[in-house]
Amino acid sequence: MHTFYFPGHIRHDPAQLSEPNTPLPAQRFHDPAERGSMIHEAVKTANLGPITEPADFSIDPIGEIHEYGFLNLLQNAHERMANEESSQLALPYTFLKNQIGPHRPRSVWGQLGYYAYDGASPILEHTWDVAYWNAQVAVSAAALINAQGEQIAYALCRPPGHHAGPNFFGGACYLNNTAVAAQWLVQQGKRVAILDLDYFHGNGTQAIFYGRSNVLFCSIHADPLYEYPYFWGYADEYGVGGGKGYNFNYPLPRRADTDDYLAALDNALDRIRLYVPDLLLISLGVNFIQDDPANKFQIPAHTLTTIGQTLAKINLPTVVVQEGGTMRDGLGRDVVTFLTALQGDANKTD
């Protein structure tokens, strides 16, 4: 199994925020740079296969998914905030609740509130550079599967991406790595299914493909009645227009256990088989395991082995894109457990 990884991700580290009068305390930002480094070290130690840096596919695949004005803000917000407001932190304090007119503010404060939907995703000095290269990580993994016929590739992305939509960001996500890779594969003539296995619903991915039939989206996650992102991820969201019937959500209640999760997985895999995709993308967040402090499920870590083995049986070329997982001692171990089960003993690198 080939892993793609951008070591420069450490340049974006919300955990290091120390500016006086920061609107939100640094501990709210649940994506410290150490999280990606910890997963990388675990994958390296497990010797699952080669680990390389991504190729540069340019901004074009990103621009296929995200709107120009949104990308412009991500690239320039930190510099504008430093010049206009003498601040090193670009974080909104007001948000667009309802779209009531066609006007987009020119102020950096206004644009932050226009494109962000929460206060957990600061734009720092190197945010754009790091987000850009992690989108390339995902495309590089997709390109390997597409061109060389390998069965599994792992995109170790950090920051994650599945909360970022076509023109919005939040949940520590800036660019939607999975969606960028999926669209790139569609342009190569592939039929793509996405399975989101994060504790929190992939609202950005859903928004991107909600009106489309050439990408199937299935997500197993905590019930948004009680958990982030609250306003998306309900079971009656099936898509719109030509995309109706290509979006399936499986929200699980608090204290859901292994049987609940595996039943939802079986249902999602039935949808995927009926879709007959050429390739599967898995948005992987190991934060649904009970050891992760972010969740309220009762699913032990060894369930990751069962999930990985179940997914291996569908025998589809697969790109795994890293999403969530709270910084904790067992984070890297849980990712390795899933990847090892997915690739199977026969394909395990000695």
Q: Do residues 147 and 189 make contact, with C-beta atoms less than 8 angstroms apart?
A: no
**Residue 338, both tokens:** 């899933």
Q: Rounded to an integer, what distance in angstroms lies between the CA atom of residue 132 and that of residue 23?
A: 26
Residue labelled with tokens 């989206």:
217
Beta bridge partners of 222: 252
The two three-digit tokens of residue 62, written as one number: 């990103």
Quick one: which of 190, 141, 181 has its CA closest to 162? 181
Determine contact, residues 324/160, Cβ cutoff 8 Å.
yes
Please give the DSSP secondary-structure letter assigned to residue 8. G
- Per the residue annotation, which of 9, 163, 201, 221 is the catalytic one? 163
- Report the Cα 190 to chain-centroid distance in Å: 21
3-state secondary structure at position 276: coil
What DSSP line would sit under 106-171, residue for residue?
SSHHHHHHHHBSSSS--B-TTHHHHHHHHHHHHHHHHHHHHHH--SEEEEE-SS--TT--SS-BBT
- Give the orientation angle of helix 68-85 with respect to helix 127-148, to 10 degrees: 160
Residue 163: active-site member: yes
Give the sheet arrangement for strand 215-222, strand by strand.
51-52, 2-5, 152-156, 318-322, 279-284, 192-197, 215-222, 247-252
Token digits of residue 231: 């306003």
Packing angle between helix 331-343 and helix 303-312, nearest 10 degrees?
Answer: 30
Reported in sequence order, the residue ranges of the chain that DSSP labels E, i.e. its strands, are 2-5, 51-52, 152-156, 192-197, 215-222, 247-252, 279-284, 318-322
In order of 59, 82, 159, 204, the CA distances from 111 in angstroms are 21, 15, 21, 18
Catalytic residue numbers read 163
